[in-house]
A and B are shown apart, each in its own frame.
Chain A
Amino acid sequence: MLTEFYGIIMTIVPIIIIGAVFARQIDTRYKNELAFHKAIKGVFFDDKCYQPVKCSSEKLEIKDLYDIRIRKPSKSFNKKGSEDVSDELQDLYGKLEKATKSDPYK
């Protein structure tokens, strides 16, 4: 009887430990995926990045998970209002100045 008991314990315990480790890894990945989801909406709509995601204008990345290639627009979707975009205006005026100096059709 004792031999069977030891046999059962020795089989079940590693299975439970391996399962628990595996479950923990999946749980971490699930949390990271949800963080990614939040970060994607944050980057495009509110110009915010949430931990543990690393955000740049070309890439969203979580270490040890994966990265997603993106193209971040110059202005986030929820940041609107035409009269207070001084950077945007300066940029446009710079391009306008170049455009008036040279004719692209020549």
Chain B
Amino acid sequence: MVFLKNKRGSILILSAFLIMIIVTSILGINSIYGNLCNIISYQNKADAHMLSVIGLYVETLDKVSWINKQLRRIGALAALIPFVPQLAPLVTFVQKITGGLETYQDLLLIRLKTHAPVLDNELRLENKLSVPGNYHYFEYRRQPPIDLIFMVIPGLIEINSDIFNTVCIKHKGLITGSMACVDNNTHREEKGWFAPTEEDWNVVMNNAY
């Protein structure tokens, strides 16, 4: 009886041990996968947030650069007007266009200045990401206008080269942080102020995986 009891007891202990191993391994593997999913989920939300906010900057900078290009073209064409008298009636029209472009450029930059921080916090809150975020901004100024006597061409918008460091959206990730910054192929190595005229603004990302 004692032998049987011991044998039965040892089988039960062995079985319990095996069940414990199976349960632990199933739970362990599932929890590893579950945590991995949580990390990817957080990273996805962070990526979507960073790209959304940087997208607003890229969109604005593309348009500002496009307007700079048009103002430069108009300036070059307007310089021809004194030599081609037939173009004289166009002066008022060109003046209106340049004025409109200048106003639109100013409005775009004001919209960016006010909307970017709001969008940043709004998306952080709605996607349940860390709040508050980091500062992101860039310095810009307008070149002096070109006076052609018969008309005035507005100056181009110049941007400080610090933009590549200051317009960055950052996240403290679960493993390592991630960051997205604006980038520009033409002006990446620029020092000081530059007036962009090409719509080649892009995004450079650096994240955990």
Contact = CB atoms under 8 A, between A and B. Distances in A.
Contacts of A73: 55-56, 58-59
A12 B25 CA distance: 13
A23 B63 contact: no
Contacts, number: 127
B55 A82 contact: no
Contact of A71 (B27, B55, B63, B202): B55
B22 A16 contact: yes
Given A7-B15, A33-B37, A34-B40, A95 B104 contact: yes
Interface string B37-62: 10011011101110111011011001
B150 interface: no
A100 B97 CA distance: 7
**Which of the four size classes fits the interface of chain A?**
35 or more
Contacts of B45: 68
Contacts of B15: 4, 7-8, 11
DSSP class of A's interface residues: helix, strand, loop or mixed? helix
Contacts of B23: 15, 19
A80 B155 CA distance: 25
A77 B103 contact: no
21 contacts: A1-B8, A1-B11, A8-B18, A12-B19, A12-B22, A15-B23, A33-B37, A34-B40, A36-B41, A36-B44, A37-B40, A37-B43, A68-B48, A69-B122, A77-B55, A77-B203, A78-B202, A80-B200, A95-B104, A99-B104, A104-B107
